[in-house]
């Protein structure tokens, strides 16, 4: 079997289009413009790239983007004061604190100081609890993007065997909760899982979120399974010239595409969906804050 490619880049464009339509409606019908505030502490180059690209896409869909760049040695008190100010600002509907934070800042404390209704990353402990108990919450962007692609590909996920490899708070655990919410039979695998190849082989859906280049070989994948590759790993690519690198996922794409029914590529799969879902969460948060109808198909 040769897998069909789940084109996250194209799908993300349709999600952003839906967001833009809803933003335009909020403006036209209610004179409301959704706003997303992104807080970056320090000058981590990768984080700077993410923040720039988030800001650009936010304005492209017609929302306000507020960027707050703080010195690397910003005190916890000053960061918490900024978050309080954003919590109280009616023009701000979503707040994202770019992670990781410098070591002297307590990430849990900072994230849990965000108003849960504005927590568009879905990392606040209240949102974690709401998601785990199947209640309406802000859903973390990467797993939300994965779920949207899976629903779009399969229609119903009910009764399918899903294996999530990785148990992080930002990807693995919320992904498992979402799949369970859609009535999959869910297994969460991690570094201590025994006989991982056998576990993966039983899966109709495999979500790989590990951070190890191409660790899932093709022969772990069940015939016809759907593979969602969350991993982003940079490896040397001498075939492209001296010193060149390229991005690969956690799955051996070439081998897995010979066996899977459908697979996301890296790049161009889960990555673009993550930012699209951040925008979706912001417009959802804005609609909820104003007691208005939520956009259809942009949240769970
Ligand atoms: P973490 O490092 O927080 O978690 C990795 C998980 O993988 C852990 O639960 C770990 O298990 C598990 N693991 C490690 N080694 C193995 C192994 N040999 N077998 C099975 N499980 C293993 O990573 P994240 O969840 O933050 O990210 C995972 C990947 O997804 C990364 O490549 C990251 O860059 C990417 N990512 C991509 C995003 C996107 O937008 N596309 C967004 C977020 C992340 P244990 O708990 O036992 O240590």
What CATH number does the domain containing 159 carry? Answer: 3.40.50.720
* Residue 54 appears among annotated catalytic residues: yes
Residues 260 and 175 in one domain: yes
Task: Please tell me which residue in 18, 98, 119, 222 is annotated as part of the active site.
Answer: 98
Task: Please tell me which residue in 18, 119, 121, 229 is annotated as part of the active site.
Answer: 121
Please state the atom number of ligand 1 nearest to the C-alpha of residue 233: 32
Does residue 164's CB lie within 6 angstroms of at least one atom of ligand 1?
no
* Residue 98 appears among annotated catalytic residues: yes
Domain housing 210: 141-271
Does residue 267's CB lie within 6 angstroms of at least one atom of ligand 1?
no
Helix (H) or strand (E) holding 71: none
Report whether 281 contacts 57 (CB < 8 A). Answer: no
Rounded Cα gap, residues 279 and 35, in angstroms: 10
Cα–Cα distances (Å) from 95 to 60, 100, 114, 220, in that order, read: 18, 15, 7, 39
Residues 197 and 238 in one domain: yes
pTM: 0.98
Q: Is 132 within the bounds of a domain?
A: no
Residues 147 and 92 in one domain: no
The number of folded domains in the chain is: 2
- Residue pLDDT tens, the chain, 300 long: 799 999 999 999 999 999 999 999 999 999 999 999 999 999 999 999 999 999 999 999 999 999 999 999 999 999 999 999 999 999 999 999 999 999 999 999 999 999 999 999 999 999 999 999 999 999 999 999 999 999 999 999 999 999 999 999 999 999 999 999 999 999 999 999 999 999 999 999 999 999 999 999 999 999 999 999 999 999 999 999 999 999 999 999 999 999 999 999 999 999 999 999 999 999 999 999 999 999 999 999
Residues 89 and 155 in one domain: no
Residues 109 and 181 in one domain: no
* Residue 219 appears among annotated catalytic residues: no
Choose the final residue of a domain: 81, 115, 149: 115
Q: How far is the CA of 193 from the centre of ligand 1 (A)?
A: 14
- Write the burial class of residue 223 (CB in 10 Å: 0-12 exposed, 13-18 middle, 19+ buried): exposed
Q: Is 244 within the bounds of a domain?
A: yes
């Amino acid at each position: 079997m040769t897998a069909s490619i789940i084109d996250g880049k194209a799908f993300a464009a349709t999600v952003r289009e839906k967001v833009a339509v809803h933003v335009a409606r909020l403006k036209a019908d209610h004179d409301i413009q959704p706003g997303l505030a992104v807080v970056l502490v320090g000058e981590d180059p990768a984080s700077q790239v993410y923040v720039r690209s988030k800001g650009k896409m936010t304005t492209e869909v017609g929302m306000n983007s507020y960027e707050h760049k703080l010195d690397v040695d910003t005190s916890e008190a000053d960061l918490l004061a900024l978050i309080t100010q954003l919590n109280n600002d009616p023009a701000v509907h979503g707040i994202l604190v770019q992670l990781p934070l410098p070591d002297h800042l307590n990430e849990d404390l900072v994230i849990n100081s965000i108003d849960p209704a504005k927590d568009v990353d879905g990392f606040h402990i209240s949102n974690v609890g709401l998601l785990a108990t199947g209640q309406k919450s802000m859903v973390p962007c990467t797993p939300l993007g994965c779920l949207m692609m899976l629903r779009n590909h399969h229609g119903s996920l009910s009764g399918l065997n899903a294996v999530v490899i990785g148990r992080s708070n930002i990807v693995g655990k919320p992904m498992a909760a979402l799949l369970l919410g859609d009535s999959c039979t869910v297994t969460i695998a991690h570094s201590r899982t025994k006989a991982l190849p056998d576990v993966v082989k039983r899966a109709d859906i495999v979500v790989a979120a590990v951070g190890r280049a191409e660790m899932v070989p093709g022969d772990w994948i069940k015939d016809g399974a759907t593979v969602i590759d969350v991993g982003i790993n940079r490896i040397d690519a001498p075939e492209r010239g001296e010193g060149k690198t390229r991005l690969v996922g956690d799955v051996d794409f070439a081998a897995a595409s010979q066996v899977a029914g459908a697979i996301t590529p890296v790049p161009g799969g889960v990555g673009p969906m993550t930012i699209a879902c951040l925008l979706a969460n912001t417009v959802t948060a804005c609609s909820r804050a104003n007691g208005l109808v939520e956009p259809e198909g942009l949240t769970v």
